[in-house]
Amino acid sequence: MELVEEMLAGDVLSLARLITRVERDGADVPQIMKQVYPHLGKAHCIGITGPPGAGKSTVVDRLTAVLRQRGFTVGIIAADPTSPFTGGAVLGDRIRMQQHYLDEGVFIRSMATRGSHGGLPRTTGGVIKLMGAFGKDCILVETVGVGQTELDIMQNVDTVVVVLVPEAGDAIQTMKAGLFEIADIFAVNKADRPGADNLVAELRMMVHLRSEETWWQVPVVATEAINNVGIEELYGQIEKHRQALEETGRLSQRRQEQRRQEFLEIVERRVSEELLKLVERDEELGRHMAMVEAGEVDPYSAADEILRPRTLLASWSRQLAERRSSD
C-alpha cells in the first residue's frame, strides 16, 4: 500500500490517515499491519493511567517536555475521554499543550473512546504500532484507569505508570480497581496536598508486602506535575524499568506474549466473522431470529439448532463451491 510506504518514509499526513483507518477497524487493517510489522519493536511504549482527575494529562505533558529535551521523538495517544489531548480541557490546559502541538517531534492523537464496543484495546494497539513503525522513540498512552477495557489497553505497553492523588481514595481502592497489579511505577501526583505523604508510605508498604519478584521493585514517586516537580525522577524510573526489562530478557518475552495473544484474537475474530456472514445468509437464521425476538424460544436453544455441525458444514460447502466457480 502506497500510504504505508509514504508513512514509513516519514510523511506525517500519511500517518494520520493510517491511524484513522485503523481506528475505523475496516477491511484494510490486515494489509496495513502486514506492511507495518517488520518495522516494529524499537519504540518504548509507556502507559499513563489512573482515576479521573489525577492529573494524568499534565504528567504526560511534562514527561513529553523531558523526553524532547533529551532529543527523543514522542507519540501521544489519549484514550481518556476527559484528557485535554482529546479536547476535554479548560482553556488553560489547551494553552499549555500548544507547545507540543507545534513541535514537529511530537505527534498527538486522541482515540474515539465512545461506541467502539470492545474494540478500543485492539485499535489502540494498532495505533501504537503505527507510531512505532513511523519511528517515534517513545509512545505515551493515556487512559482513565477504571474499567476493564482501559486495563486491557495497558496490555499493549512496556511500562505502566499509575498516577494517583491523595483525594482519589486510598490504596485499597486502587487495588480493587485492578491498578495495583498492572503498575510498574506509581506517581503520587499533587504531592503538595494533604494526605500525599501517607499515600506514598501506604503504597510503598503495599509494594513491599506484595512483591514476589526480585527483578523489579515498583517505585513510588511523588510528583507535582503542574509545577514540574518530580518529573525528572519519574523519567529516571521509567528509563530504569526499560533497562531492567531489557537486561532480564523480559522485554522480548513480553512482546512474544503480546504477539501470541494478538494472533489468537485475530484468528478468533476472523473465524467468527466468516461464519456469522455464512449463517446470516442462511434462511434458517431469519426464522430462528424471529422466534427468539418474540420470546417463543430461548436464544441458547435457537443457537443449538443453527449451529448443528451438519447444517453449517453443508452451508460452508455451498459457499466454497460458489467461490470456486466465481474465481
Site for its own copies in 25-84 (CB under 8 A): 30-31, 33-34, 37-38, 41, 51-53, 81-82
H or E element that contains 188: strand 185-188
CA 270 to chain centre: 21
User: Is the CB of 105 or the CB of 119 nearer to its own copies?
Assistant: 119
Binders of its own copies among 118-137, rule CB under 8 A? 118, 120
- By CB under 8 A, is residue 267 in contact with its own copies? yes
Interface with its own copies includes 198 (CB under 8 A)? no
Residues pairing with 185 in the sheet: 161
**Single residue of 20, 198, 211, 256 touching its own copies by CB under 8 A:** 256
Distance CA 123, CA 22 (A): 6
Distances 113 to 117, 144, 237 between C-alpha atoms, Å: 9, 11, 29
Residues 133-172 that bind its own copies (CB under 8 A): 144, 146-150, 152, 169, 172
Q: Give the whole-angstrom CA distance, residue 39 versus residue 248.
A: 23
| Using rule CB under 8 A, residue 17 touches its own copies | no
- Minimum CB distance to its own copies, residue 317 (Å): 7
**Interface residue with its own copies, options 247, 274, 284, 322 (CB under 8 A):** 274
CB of 291 to its own copies, least distance (A): 10
Helix locations, the chain, DSSP H: 2-8, 12-24, 29-36, 56-69, 91-101, 120-134, 148-153, 171-176, 179-182, 196-210, 231-247, 250-281, 283-293, 299-306, 309-326
Question: Of the listed pieces 8-16, 186-194, 226-234, 262-270, which binds its own copies according to CB under 8 A?
Answer: 262-270
Question: How far, in Å, CA of 234 to CA of 61, rounded?
Answer: 13
| Pairwise CA distance, residues 130 & 36, whole Å | 7
Binding to its own copies (CB under 8 A) within 99-118 occurs at 113-114, 116-118
Nearest approach in angstroms of CB 57 to its own copies is: 13
Residue 51 beta carbon to its own copies: minimum distance, rounded to whole angstroms: 7
**Which one of 64-72, 223-231, 232-240, 299-307 is the stretch in contact with its own copies (CB under 8 A)?**
299-307
Nearest approach, Cβ of 48 to its own copies (angstroms)? 16
- Grid coordinates representing 146 are 477504571
Interacting residue with its own copies among 5, 316, 318, 322 (CB under 8 A): 316
Helix, strand, or coil (residue 43)? coil
